[in-house]
């Protein structure tokens, strides 16, 4: 027999009853049932229940074992009685009667429990990650990650891509984040960099004549951590193709990702019709370039309703250049309590607040009923007409309705029979009946609904508006959390203007081909769009890519507009620019974040839950004690001297 095991802890079934087996694994838990000891033994493959009584020669040793001791047992496979069968595990029909036991590795008192799925401080979990990884949920997440990577790799090979590896030690390159620098021993005073992405190399692979490239690439960026971003390193499905358009890239990656999400998404629906939304529209409608389309709310510009209105704050704002007022519709959010809570949220985000209006069903005043020319009478008549045109009724009372566009189901009441939708809130009082009714109709709202309003220069408030949209969708139950919604964000602007200095710089990827080529660069830089695109899924950016700027003359011009001269371009990107002078093909590609893909599939909110050995939020490895102080001899060999801050 093998010295450690004849079977794994997930192998044994009723067909093995009567056989002798040898298992090795960790003690998941020990239960004392009045003289009988039950030991749940666990390995990578599963859990097997083992039992020992005082007649066994190994009983005294068995009494000493504790959780997470690593042991080997020999025993006989017995069938469980019907009432003790455990249908939740594959080995639940059998148990092992222990004849012999050996302790392979004793365990000290545990700093965190492995049995169960109790919350524990993250710092402890990261310091003892090897114990944390034994826990079922995290163990399953890491196995999911392994299977996802294998699946993506097989799909890429299956559609004609070849896998190539690009260098890890290379030159510094501006990818939008800080580099990790590596000092050179052989070239004192000079530094390599860990690649933020294989960007330049994969483009050079296209110049080299390889038509379709991919790799599961490690990338290194010295970034501030977020819940969906690792602060040091991450992996991406990186790909590049020659002789392609933007749509070709979409058509290539869509079935790869959709198939992976359908396979590992636990049955959650995956939309196959991925809309293409311009960056400008995404900022307007969702306040984000990675919108969560599970939430049906779309923000709208409503400036015309506040121009020269009685609400002086917005009326005065709109007299300034570049300002506007946007509305966030909130179907079913028509209560003062909810509106006040959202107003406090905006104040907590650094804004003065959010204006709001909510609509409620009330009785038409007597004076309006008797006078068809009364403003409220006119509003009520308009509302009745609008309601009839916009809603299909499913009973005579009109208590229930559904929107014809299928956006929302809910309950309201038909504004008829002496009733109308009254606009409430301070904003409504300031702008009057006609303006609030025009707002309600534009936003397609009714009784029990609300709308929130933000004004100023969009860049100053649209991020907060986007966060508010997410909160409103979740709190009002409008967001369908049980599906995957993808959308391409396209037409990114290449340049932006610094509000303080007035200087033009790159807003997004400088290697993107401008739409319109050289001719586009002769006009207003702020109007230049790139063939650049991101893929959003459920509020996260999963993919980023572009059709590349492969023509040296266009590249020089593009960088010149941002203040980079020809010499600077050749110094920083000399290898790639030189290569483009020898017959570079049109090419493009993208990269999909492996960590975020697995995070979504595992339904985790924190990316560290799907990375085997992550850093903490301070970019520290508590288990390996990194970063660490260098030895004096290492610094001398590298000709380096530390200049540390005083604090």
pLDDT in tens, 539-557: 999 999 999 999 999 999 9
Question: Above 90 in pLDDT, residue 427?
Answer: yes
- CA nearest 594: which of 219, 300, 285, 313? 219
Percentage of the chain exceeding pLDDT 90: 78
Q: Are residues 566 and 419 in the same domain?
A: no
* Per-residue model confidence (pLDDT) at position 75: 97
Q: For 167-192, b where at least 16 C-beta lie within 10 A, e where not — what string?
A: eeebebbebeeebbeebeeeeeeeeb
Residue 459 included in any domain: yes
Provide the 10 A C-beta neighbour count for residue 621.
17
Residues 388 and 301 in one domain: yes
Share of the chain above pLDDT 70, in %: 95
What average pLDDT is seen over the chain? 92
Is the pLDDT score of 199 beyond 50?
A: yes
Both 179 and 255 in a single domain?
yes
pLDDT of residue 244: 98
Average pLDDT for 23-30? 97
What is residue 271's predicted lDDT score, i.e. its pLDDT?
93
H helices within 424-504, ranges in order? 426-431, 433-443, 458-475
pLDDT band for position 415 (cuts 50, 70, 90): low
CATH code: domain of residue 202: 3.30.930.10
CATH number at residue 87: 2.40.50.140
Please give the average per-residue pLDDT across 519-529, as a whole number: 93
Give the mean pLDDT of 460-488: 96
Position 416 scores a pLDDT of: 59
| Residue 522 shares a structural domain with residue 571 | yes
Sign of the four-CA dihedral 610, 613, 617, 623:
positive
Rounded to whole angstroms, the Cα distance separating 527 from 258 reads 33
Find the CATH number of the domain harbouring 306: 3.30.1360.30
Q: What confidence tens digit (pLDDT) does each residue in 84-104 have? A: 999 999 999 999 999 999 999
Same domain membership, residue 506 and residue 444: no
Please compute the mean of the pLDDT values over residues 173-197 and round it to a whole number. 88
In this structure, is residue 7 part of a structural domain?
Answer: no
Any bridge partners for residue 453, and if so which?
Answer: 327, 355
**Residues 260, 145 within the same domain:** yes
pLDDT(405) > 50: no
Biggest distance spanned by C-alpha atoms of the chain: 100
Q: Can the peptide bond before residue 119 be classed as cis, meaning omega within 30 degrees of 0?
A: no
The string of pLDDT tens digits covering residues 572-617 is: 888 888 999 999 999 999 999 999 999 999 999 999 999 999 999 9
- Band (510; pLDDT cuts 50, 70, 90): confident
Contacts 24+ apart (CB under 8 A), 87-92: 89/46, 89/47, 90/10, 90/13, 90/46, 91/9, 91/10, 91/11, 91/12, 91/13, 91/46, 91/47, 91/48, 91/49
Whether 123 is covered by a domain: the verdict is no
Q: How confident is the model at residue 175 (pLDDT cuts 50, 70, 90)?
A: low
Res 511 pLDDT > 90: no
- Using 50, 70 and 90 to split pLDDT, how confident is the model at 116? confident
Whether residues 342 and 357 share a domain: the answer is yes
Decide if pLDDT at 411 tops 60.
no
Closest C-alpha to 545, from 556, 535, 555: 535
State the residue for tokens 């490239």.
213
One domain, residues 339 and 467: yes
Please compute the mean of the pLDDT values over residues 225-249 and round it to a whole number. 93
What value does the mean pLDDT take over residues 250-262?
98
Which pLDDT value is given to residue 570? 86
Q: Based on the fold, state whether residues 301 and 251 are members of the same structural domain.
A: no
Residue 63: the pLDDT is 95
* pLDDT value of residue 392: 55
290 occurs within a structural domain: no
Predicted pLDDT at 301: 97
**What are the backbone dihedrals phi and psi of residue 639, each rounded to the nearest 5 degrees, phi first?**
60, 45
Q: How confident is the model over 119-130, as a mean pLDDT? A: 93
Q: Which helix (H) or strand (E) holds 347?
A: helix 336-348
Question: 300 pLDDT exceeds 90?
Answer: yes
Does 110 reside within a domain? no
What's the pLDDT score for residue 344? 93
Range of the domain at 549: 486-585
pLDDT given at position 387: 78
- If you average pLDDT over residues 21-34, what whole number do you get? 95
Instruction: Look at residue 409 in the predicted model and tell me its pLDDT.
Output: 43
Within a domain: residue 4?
Answer: no
Do residue 182 and residue 259 come from a single domain?
yes
Residues 125-138: what's their mean pLDDT?
96
Residue 389 lies in a domain: yes
d(C-alpha 102, C-alpha 71), whole Å: 6
Is the domain of 574 the same as that of 595? no
Per-residue pLDDT, 558 = 92
pLDDT attached to residue 256: 98
Q: How far apart are CA 121 and CA 138, in angstroms?
A: 15
Contact status, residue 592 vs residue 253, Cβ threshold 8 Å: yes
Reported as a pLDDT band with limits 50, 70 and 90, residue 399 is: very low
User: Of 445, 475, 505, which one is at a domain's C-terminal end?
Assistant: 475
User: Is a pLDDT exceeding 70 seen at residue 395?
Assistant: no
pTM of this structure: 0.91
pLDDT at residue number 223: 85
Check pLDDT > 90 for residue 404. no
The pLDDT of residue 610 = 97
pLDDT score for 403: 40
* Overall domain count for the chain: 4
Query: Is 390 inside a domain boundary?
Result: yes
Contact 487, 277 (CB under 8 A): yes
Q: What is the pLDDT of residue 117?
A: 77
User: What is the model's pLDDT at position 414?
Assistant: 57
Q: How far apart are CA 521 and CA 560, in angstroms?
A: 10
Among 475, 505, 526, which residue terminates a domain? 475
pLDDT for 440 equals 93
**Shared-domain flag, residues 572 and 603:** no
pLDDT tier for residue 569 given thresholds of 50, 70 and 90: confident
């Amino acid at each position: 027999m093998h010295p450690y095991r004849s079977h794994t802890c997930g192998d044994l079934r009723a067909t093995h009853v009567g056989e002798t087996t040898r298992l090795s694994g960790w003690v998941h838990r020990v239960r004392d049932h009045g003289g009988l000891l039950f030991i749940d033994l666990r390995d990578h493959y599963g859990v097997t229940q083992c039992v020992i009584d005082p007649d066994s020669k190994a009983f005294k040793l068995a009494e000493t074992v504790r959780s997470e001791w690593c042991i080997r047992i020999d025993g006989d496979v017995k069938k469980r009685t019907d009432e003790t069968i455990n249908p939740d595990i594959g080995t639940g029909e059998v148990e092992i009667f222990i004849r012999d036991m050996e302790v392979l590795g004793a365990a000290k008192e545990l700093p965190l429990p492995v049995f169960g799925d109790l919350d524990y401080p993250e710092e402890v979990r990261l310091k003892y990650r090897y114990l944390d990884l034994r826990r079922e949920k995290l163990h399953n997440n890491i196995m999911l990650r392994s299977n996802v990577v294998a699946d993506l790799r097989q799909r890429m090979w299956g559609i004609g891509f070849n896998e190539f590896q690009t260098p890890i030690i290379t030159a510094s390159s501006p990818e939008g984040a800080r580099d990790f620098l590596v000092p050179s021993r052989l070239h004192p005073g000079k530094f390599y960099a860990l690649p933020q992405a294989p960007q330049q190399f994969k483009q050079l692979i296209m110049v080299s004549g390889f038509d379709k490239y991919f790799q599961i690439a490690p990338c290194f960026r010295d970034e501030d951590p977020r819940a969906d971003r690792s602060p040091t390193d991450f992996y991406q499905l990186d790909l590049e193709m020659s002789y392609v358009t933007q749509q070709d890239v979409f058509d290539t990656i869509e079935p790869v990702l959709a198939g992976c999400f359908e396979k590992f998404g636990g049955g959650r629906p995956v939309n196959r019709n991925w809309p293409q939304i311009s960056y400008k529209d995404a900022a307007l409608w969702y306040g984000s370039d990675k919108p969560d389309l599970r939430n049906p709310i779309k923000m709208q510009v409503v400036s015309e309703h506040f121009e020269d209105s009685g609400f002086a704050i917005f009326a005065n704002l709109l007299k300034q250049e570049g300002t506007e007022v946007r509305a966030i519709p909130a179907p079913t959010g028509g209560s003062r309590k909810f509106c006040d809570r959202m107003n406090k949220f905006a104040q907590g985000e650094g804004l003065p607040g959010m204006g709001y209006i909510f609509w409620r069903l009330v009785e038409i005043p007597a004076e309006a009923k008797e006078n068809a020319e009364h403003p409220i009478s006119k509003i009520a008549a308009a509302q009745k007409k609008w309601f009839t045109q916009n809603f299909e009724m499913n009973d005579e009372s009109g208590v229930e309705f559904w929107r014809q566009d299928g956006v929302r189901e809910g309950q309201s009441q038909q504004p008829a029979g002496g009733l109308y939708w009254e606009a409430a809130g301070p904003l409504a009082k300031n702008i009057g009946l006609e303006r609030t009714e025009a707002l309600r109709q534009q936003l397609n709202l009714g009784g029990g609904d609300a709308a929130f309003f933000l004004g100023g220069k969009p860049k100053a408030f649209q991020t907060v508006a986007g966060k508010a949209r997410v909160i409103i969708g979740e709190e009002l139950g409008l967001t369908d959390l049980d599906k995957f919604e993808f959308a391409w964000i396209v037409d990114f602007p290449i340049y932006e203007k610094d509000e303080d200095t007035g200087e033009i710089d790159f807003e997004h990827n400088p290697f993107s081909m401008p739409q319109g080529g050289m001719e586009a660069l002769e006009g207003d830089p702020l109007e230049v769009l790139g063939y650049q695109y991101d893929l959003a899924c459920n509020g996260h950016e999963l993919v980023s890519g572009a059709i590349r700027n492969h023509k040296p003359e266009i590249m020089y011009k593009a960088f010149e507009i941002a203040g980079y001269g020809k010499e600077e371009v050749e110094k920083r990107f000399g290898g790639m620019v030189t290569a483009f002078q020898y017959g570079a093909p049109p090419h493009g590609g993208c990269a999909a974040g492996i960590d975020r893909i697995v995070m979504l599939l595992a339904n985790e909110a924190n990316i560290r839950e799907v990375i085997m050995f992550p850093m903490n939020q301070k970019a520290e490895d508590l288990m390996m004690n990194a970063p660490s102080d260098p030895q004096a001899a290492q610094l001398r060999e590298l000709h380096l001297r530390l200049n540390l801050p005083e604090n």
